[in-house]
Amino acid sequence: MDDCIIIGAGPAGLTAAIYLARFHLGIRLFDCGSSRAALIPCTHNHAGYPEGISGNDLLARMLEQAERYGAVREPAEVTALRVIEDGFGVRVGEREYGARTVLLATGVVNNRPDIDDALHAEALQRGLLRYCPICDGYEVTDKRVGVIGTGEHGMREAVFLRGFTADVTLIAPGGAHELDQACQDALDDAGIRRLDGPCGDFRIEGDQLSVGTAKGRQSFDSIYPALGSKIRSGLAVQAGAAAAEDGCLEVDDHQRTSLPGLFAAGDVAKGLDQISHAMGEAGVAATTIRNLLAEQRPIRR
Ligand SMILES: Cc1cc2nc3c(=O)[nH]c(=O)nc-3n(C[C@H](O)[C@H](O)[C@H](O)COP(=O)(O)OP(=O)(O)OC[C@H]3O[C@@H](n4cnc5c(N)ncnc54)[C@H](O)[C@@H]3O)c2cc1C
């Protein structure tokens, strides 16, 4: 039985792997290769990289660091998680692996607008399409920005982006906007334009991304979809862990879920969806896991 199985090798899972391997614990690290960090063309808000670093380069560096201490990333999808005597059963393919503790670091998946995959990839790479105003709002300073969304979530994203540029348009994804009076007032107060949908038929035109709306085709320097995300907490919820209404796992200040021995870190847990936060949570989780295991059986060299 392993000391800990980490599910997910994004910034959270890899940070935990570095810590746990350096604690001389027996770990496994399963990952199905869809880290959100891999979508980052170049992050400029992650401390320590003044020139910025691509998400893939950051992940490769973290994996290299974890491997130095014996961690191995096994490319596989975990399909089930259950409580067994003294720990957890983690299913991968036909096999079930046993672990005394599990760290879930499976992240989230952004809901995308209806846009062709190749076009999506190019627009993302060129910063024409962006998903994280906290991360890269600075890069759209004084640019023409579109936000796809409506309701309170869309309003909040648009108002947040107003801190970077005066030229913000909120486009409803479907038909007409669904905005209550408070949302309309907040948008008016910030000077944010509204356009009804349906929005679609995306095209790259020169250095802009254009989109069809109820008022015809509109072009923007960057478009932010604000369509929410799917939280990849299903394995933990099926095993019995508590989650918030949006699907994020509930954790205490040591990253413990409601199931003893099951921990969560990164975007899958409630908190700020940022690399730095994912890494910090993983450091806390890994140290708590180490201390829990040491209580059960002294860790000695
Ligand atoms: C376009 C974009 C730009 C961003 N820019 C920035 C930025 O500049 N700065 C910043 O701080 N943040 C940025 N973020 C957010 C950042 O990427 C995330 O906060 C970060 O990746 C979260 O790390 P994580 O380890 O929790 O999840 P992830 O990085 O998403 O990793 C989760 C991992 O779990 C694996 N997994 C999931 N389910 C399973 C399973 N069942 N079995 C096995 N493996 C599984 C996935 O394959 C994946 O590798 C950006 C996000 C996007 C989409």
Q: Cα(286)–Cα(254) distance, rounded to whole angstroms?
A: 9
Distance from Cα 48 to the centre of ligand 1, integer Å: 19
Ligand 1, atom nearest to 30 Cα: 43
Which of 202, 225, 248 represents a domain boundary (last residue)?
Answer: 225
Tens place of pLDDT for every residue, the chain, 301 residues? 999 999 999 999 999 999 999 999 999 999 999 999 999 999 999 999 999 999 999 999 999 999 999 999 999 999 999 999 999 999 999 999 999 999 999 999 999 999 999 999 999 999 999 999 999 999 999 999 999 999 999 999 999 999 999 999 999 999 999 999 999 999 999 999 999 999 999 999 999 999 999 999 999 999 999 999 999 999 999 999 999 999 999 999 999 999 999 999 999 998 889 999 999 999 999 999 999 999 999 999 8
Residue to probe by mutation, ligand 1, list 34, 36, 88, 277, most atoms within 8 Å of CB: 36
Q: How far is the CA of 195 from the centre of ligand 1 (A)?
A: 31
Q: What is the DSSP string of 2-62?
A: EEEEEE--SHHHHHHHHHHHHTT--EEEEE-S--GGGG-S-BSSSTT-TT-B-HHHHHHHH
| Residue 77 domain flag | yes
Using most ligand atoms within 8 A of CB, pick from 7, 19, 39, 40 the residue to mutate for ligand 1: 40
CA of 10 from ligand 1 middle (Å) equals 5
CATH number at residue 201: 3.50.50.60
Pairwise CA distance, residues 273 & 232, whole Å: 13
DSSP 217: E
**Atom nearest to 55 CA in ligand 1:** 17
CA distance 160 to 202: 24
Measured from the Cβ of residue 96, the count of other Cβ atoms closer than 10 Å reads: 14
pLDDT on residue 196: 97
Same-domain pairing of 57 and 144: no
Cβ count within 10 A of residue 95: 8
Range of the domain at 67: 2-109+229-296
Element (H, E) at 98: strand 95-104
Same domain, 155 and 53: no
Distances (CA, A) of 253 to 27, 162, 271, 272: 23, 33, 11, 14
Global confidence as pTM: 0.97
Structural domain tally of the chain?
2
For residues 253 and 214, state if they share a domain.
no
Tell whether 126 and 264 lie within a shared domain: no
Q: Which of 171, 200, 225 is the last residue of a domain?
A: 225
102/117 same-domain check: no
Q: Are residues 234 and 202 in the same domain?
A: no
How many other C-beta atoms are found inside a 10 Å radius of the C-beta of residue 279? 21
| Closest-CA residue to 17 (of 59, 50, 48, 54) | 59
Identify which of 102, 109, 108, 110 has the alpha carbon closest to the alpha carbon of residue 264.
102
In ligand 1, which atom is closest to the CA atom of 76?
Answer: 43
Last residue of a domain, one of 190, 205, 225: 225
What pLDDT does residue 107 have?
98
Nearest residue to 123 (alpha-carbon basis) of 224, 215, 273 = 224
Structure-block tokens of residue 292: 């829990």
